[in-house]
Structure 1
């Protein structure tokens, strides 16, 4: 029997935390079914409009953005954007004729999933966080499946639709064994030193960057390596600050494409607590200090972080306390190999390396 020519639409984006899981799902579909046709739908002007084509997939943009917490012109135009995006979503689905649709979160996910459910197209939500967003809560009753990463999600979604899969991550993150020598060479770091990795998410994180900049001299004097992903906005300042230190073992980057090597090099990771970052840390099995962003809906990063902290799988430093406490906590952890071992062991138990495969299998059942 000839293989079915599958057609899927994957919608969502806004940050790397939505885009990279979406691309991981697409790559797994193509691995299993090379002839499958995949179309992405994102938000105009957002990161996915460049990152998705770089990954080799076509994307169409919707005129959509999120609601701001304060009264702005964007908020006044929000109803018009929603209507425009839903109308365009109907047309995209009618033209592309997908077998099923996936929503990974982000601005474009809502209109596309809404249109798909109205048109009777099988649909699946991939909820990455430990606290469900408003859009996914509203759509959960209409979609066919909800793939989740945390076992506490039954309070948000219909139980019969939930599948506990974990979050999809890039395949290279699941294959770190033996990569440390390559990683140290790639970043030009001394393999005999402890290495910190600071990652503030794809858009950067002001608190992490400012705290790290203040700690550079101590990092250098203590003889540690530092891999520092700053985000585009903070990179010029960070690069200048790093160059002022009398060492070549502090490396600042606006964006790290080889995150597999960054994790392989790291002994201790300092990170925001986005769902993707946490899933990657679990797979990388690294001692982590999490600094949840306060600038996210319903404080979901704190909830993500607490899911690990309660199992002694990570350390939490509040954003408002980071300038005083973050690097003192980091230096203390660097000296405490027993604590590192406990964190490494506990975070590894939360890893779900087959998450991407499990999500794609659920999707194929719908198609």
Structure 2
């Protein structure tokens, strides 16, 4: 997705021939050493040409080679670890980078404590003050009524299991007097657009998330790092359905960190048919419970993450690469 979005905003992007390790035996794993070598060489020449003063990586195989080469060339480096569980690449790189900005507390079990800065994850500036977007549900629904609004987010590409579950249970949501804003993802829009109706609005991708967030009374979402950081700022009652298909199962670990703070509810994808309805009805029917979820998730918000990261970088560069 970034290969499309970054050029749209006027920035050049260079790709590396690199991929993650398949957890099961797979032919592509035999190419990993070749890909790593190729990416390290390309990273070296990219850095020599671009001459950066500072290099930031958000983790994973994509930024690994560049961060490694930068550190070996004595260029200041930073890992911005977005998840609650550090992946293999970041654990390895943590020994050679200078700074590590994290979004969750207690990350010293993965990284050297003297390099850690608790900053949170960068988020879009527009969502920091949703008061400017209050009562925007009319942007989605033609009629105004007392029904509350449920926002369903499955990621930009979509979440097949969530979409399937929602489509089969639209009657349940309608019986509970909910209007739905449903981001089904680009991969699934042609399948689910037929469910568009007066009270159900289906989108491949919602461009104006400010209006969507401000319109929502309740939210069902995946639990990727970026969306969790946004939802903490938005402060609406959330039910997380983590993707089980990612390395290290980091979405489940991310969601659990929020649940441990009594700030959200989580239902695993495999448990949707058994547990979703009871958990979701608690949120929509118990106003005290949903209010406590909202209050608790707001306490986890880090709205100034971008400014804080920049502040730390500037301090580091201006003070002979010393951290306070």
Range class of TM-score, shorter chain: over 0.9
Equivalent position to 2:271, from 297, 311, 321? 321
C-alpha distance in structure 1 between counterparts of 2:128 and 2:163, whole Å: 27
Find 1:184's aligned residue among 137, 140, 143.
Answer: 137
Q: Tell me the SS of whatever aligns to 1:204.
A: coil
Across the aligned residues of Structure 1 and Structure 2, the Cα RMSD in angstroms comes to 1.5
Q: Residue 288 of structure 2 corresponds to which residue in structure 1?
A: 338
| TM-score, normalization by structure 2 | 0.93
Asked whether the 8 Å contact 2:60–2:90 carries over to 1, the reply is no
Report the alpha carbon displacement of residue 328 of structure 1 after superposing the two structures with TM: 4.4
Per-residue CA deviation, residues 109-135 of structure 1 (Å, 9 max, x unaligned), is 101101111111100000011111110
Q: Secondary structure at the match of 1:178?
A: helix
Greater Cα shift, 82-91 or 295-304: 295-304
In the other structure, the counterpart of 1:165 is 119
Distance change (3 Å), C-alpha of 1:326 and 1:236: farther
Compare 248-257 and 84-93 and name the one that shifted more.
248-257
SS in 2 for 1:59: coil
Runs of 5+ in structure 1 lacking a partner? 1-46
* Distance (Å, rounded) in 1 between the aligned partners of 2:5 and 2:289: 37
Q: 1:247-287 deviations in whole A, cap 9, x for unaligned?
A: 41201111112112211111111111111111111000010
Q: Deviations over 1:140-173 (max 9, x none)?
A: 1100100001111011101110000011111111
Q: Which residue of 2 aligns with 1:295?
A: 245
Following TM superposition, where does structure 1 have runs of at least 4 consecutive aligned residues deviating by more than 4 angstroms? none
Give yes or no for the alignment of 1:362 onto 2:316: no
Which residue, out of 66, 79, 85, partners 2:39?
A: 85
CA contact (8 A) 1:211 1:327 kept: no
2:100 counterpart residue number: 146
Q: Aligned-pair distance for 1:334?
A: 1.3
CA distance in 2, matches of 1:191, 1:85: 56
Higher relative contact order, chain-length normalized (CA < 8 Å, sep 6+): 1
Aligned to 2:179: 225
Distance 1:223 1:306 in 2: 29
In the alignment, structure 1 residue 265 sits paired with structure 2 residue 218: no
Given candidates 118, 136, 153, the residue that maps to 1:199 is: 153
Aligned residue for 1:61, secondary structure, equals coil
Q: Write the distance in 2 (CA, Å) between the matches of 1:359 and 1:328.
A: 40
Give distance in 2, aligned partners of 1:69 and 1:253: 33
Question: Over residues 222-241 of structure 1, what are the superposed CA-to-partner deviations in whole Å (9 max), with x where a residue is unaligned?
Answer: 3311111111222222212x
